[in-house]
Amino acid sequence: MTSGRTNGKGAIGGLSPLPLSGIRVLELAEGWAGPMSGMWLGDLGAEVIKVEAIQRYDHARGPVEAPEGLTSYPDKKPGPRPYDVSAPYVQANRNKLAITIDLSRPQGVALFKRLVALTDVVVTNMVTGVPEKMGIAYRDLVKVRSDLIMLISSGYGATGPYSRRVTMGGAMDGIAGYTWLRHYADQTPDTITYSTHTDVVTGMNNSLSVLMAIYHRAVTGRGQLIETSGVEASIQQVHGSLMDYALNGRVHTSPGNDHPFMAPHGCYRCKGDDRWINITVSSQRQWQALCRTMGKPAWSREPRFSTQAGRWANRGELNQLIERWTQSHDSIELMHRLQKAGVPAGAVYDQADAAHDPHWKARGAYQTVVLADGKSYPIATPPWTMDGRRLAVRRPPPAFGQHNQYVLGEVLGLGDDEIARLQAEQYIGDTPLGAASSGPLSNRDQTVRPSPRG
């Protein structure tokens, strides 16, 4: 499947309707969490229109002019329009249309409201208070669309002492309790790589909250305002340690790769450069299967290791013994041997391993699409298979302002002359203004190495 062409009503010709077919979403969001909220809705069939401005655009697109050499761009070359293809943008914006409207001027807000009148859902992740200032708060928009569903997503929520504070995924990681729980057990929290896992959790909670409101509207006919807090959504994910505190007053420290009771449970070095395997054992049967596979059936009778409690108490020694075995084996071959013996084990995949894995190929986890630079690339698909068909990337991540003509012309019914005027007065456009970037070059400032398997 290549680029998505619509039939003018948002539905895709030839495919059976998706669950959210006929639902239109306007997305005013930037970064990761906000755009992912819209992405999941688009994956499930909604027509998601990403609204940016030539004066201010989603910072995940990166700068207007980027240097060569960054892994965010095809062959590390940013090309003439780097903001159409930067990897952080591409990863969170499939299955969307993209338009521009300058919402800092009243005429832009008026135009936006005309679109809202034809829209089911508005998704934003602006800081609390900003939509009110711009005149696009729920109370403003519900006047033009009485059954509107509007999501206001923020880090700390719309109420409470921190509600107006800015945040990003890497900071949410700290206050949500993740940082405290995810470093090496023998080190301190300031030794780890940052993570934006909170953004992923926030985005999926956001789309879920909207889906529920769509259900409610289907039953009652009523729309509503939804308020989400990315931090609170993230806190839910570490409920194990929170419940232990609530029940017993106990404060957890970071276990590293250890498990509260499983042993062995760890990441072991394999043959080759920086190759690893995870092995986890939760039953006597799995333990015996592991011992047999290692060629050490006697270990399963070793008193120190014969019970789960014994293995856990002696896990340091056990881990060393296992690693002595794994380090002479290929991680992927060993995974298959252990899995076939009934032991939950998995190689630690780098991105190349994940991209070439035969299981995910068979599952349709990737699809080749034509991106905005006119070239074909593999891209990840949505995770769901419905009625035997993997949900698809129906529309590749759109170029900046790509759908101005379709949305303003066909959906809103503006004439060509009016669209030309909007363009002349810089309400709309397909090129960001100026060279200054509001955003990071890449959300993953990590070193990379060429893949031997590439």
Partner 1 sequence: MNGALAGLLVLDLTQGIAGPFGTKHLADYGARVVKIERPGSGDVARRLPPFYQDDPHPEKSGRFLFLNTNKQGVTLNLKDPTGAALLRRLAQEADLVVESFRPGVMERLGLGYGELSASNPALSMISLSDFGQTGPYRDYRLTELVAFGLAGPMYANGSPDREPLKFAENAALGIAALALANAAVAVAVSGKLTGQGRYVDLSIADSMLATTQNHPMSYFYTGEVSQRTGTAMRAQFLIGSFPCKDGYIAIQGAGRGEEWWQRFFRMLGQPELSKDPRFCSSQAIMEHGEDFDAVWYSWLMDHTRIEIFDAAGEARYPIAPVYTSEDIYNDPHFNDRGFLVEIDHPATGPVRYPGLPFRHHGSPPDPPRPAPLLGQHNREVLQGMLGLSSQELGQLAAAGVV
CB 78 within 8 Å of CB 66? yes
Query: Dihedral of the CA atoms 169, 173, 174, 177 (nearest 10)?
Result: 150
- Hey, which residues between 370 and 399 contact partner 1 (CB under 8 A)? 377-388
Helices (H), ranges, 168-307: 169-175, 197-220, 230-237, 239-248, 284-294
Site size toward partner 1, by CB under 8 A: 171
Q: Shortest Cβ distance from residue 308 to partner 1 (Å)?
A: 12
Residue whose token pair is 């499930």: 44
Distances (CA, A) of 323 to 217, 269, 315: 56, 6, 12
- Residue of the chain from 5, 9, 143, 222 that contacts partner 1 (CB under 8 A): 222
Our finding on whether 238 is near partner 1 (CB under 8 A) is: yes
Phi, psi of 17 (to 5 degrees): -60, 140
Q: Shortest Cβ distance from residue 6 to partner 1 (Å)?
A: 19
Our finding on whether 433 is near partner 1 (CB under 8 A) is: no
- Residue of the chain from 348, 399, 419, 433 that contacts partner 1 (CB under 8 A): 348
Q: Shortest Cβ distance from residue 295 to partner 1 (Å)?
A: 22
Interacting span for partner 1 (CB under 8 A) from 7-15, 183-191, 292-300, 404-412: 183-191
Our finding on whether 10 is near partner 1 (CB under 8 A) is: no
Quick one: CA dihedral 293, 298, 300, 302, positive or negative?
negative
Interacting span for partner 1 (CB under 8 A) from 104-112, 129-137, 223-231, 410-418: 223-231
Our finding on whether 180 is near partner 1 (CB under 8 A) is: yes
Q: Shortest Cβ distance from residue 406 to partner 1 (Å)?
A: 25
- Residue of the chain from 140, 302, 330, 350 that contacts partner 1 (CB under 8 A): 350
- Residue of the chain from 79, 135, 174, 409 that contacts partner 1 (CB under 8 A): 174
CB 152 within 8 Å of CB 227? yes
Residues 6+ apart with CB under 8 A from 412: 111, 114, 115, 118
Interacting span for partner 1 (CB under 8 A) from 97-105, 210-218, 303-311, 412-420: 210-218
- Hey, which residues between 291 and 320 contact partner 1 (CB under 8 A)? none
Phi, psi of 273 (to 5 degrees): -85, 110
Distance CA 236, CA 245 (A): 14
Our finding on whether 95 is near partner 1 (CB under 8 A) is: no
Instruction: Indicate the DSSP class of residue 321.
Output: H
Distance CA 450, CA 454 (A): 8
CB 128 within 8 Å of CB 152? yes
- Hey, which residues between 132 and 161 contact partner 1 (CB under 8 A)? 156-157, 159-161
Distance CA 231, CA 251 (A): 19
- Residue of the chain from 141, 201, 407, 414 that contacts partner 1 (CB under 8 A): 201
Q: Which is nearer to partner 1, 10 or 169 (CB)?
A: 169
Q: Which is nearer to partner 1, 111 or 343 (CB)?
A: 343
- Residue of the chain from 124, 128, 167, 367 that contacts partner 1 (CB under 8 A): 167
- Hey, which residues between 34 and 53 contact partner 1 (CB under 8 A)? 36, 40, 44-45
- Hey, which residues between 56 and 75 contact partner 1 (CB under 8 A)? 59, 71-75
Interacting span for partner 1 (CB under 8 A) from 99-107, 115-123, 359-367, 412-420: 359-367
230 alpha-carbon distance from chain centroid: 13
Our finding on whether 205 is near partner 1 (CB under 8 A) is: yes
CB 30 within 8 Å of CB 20? no
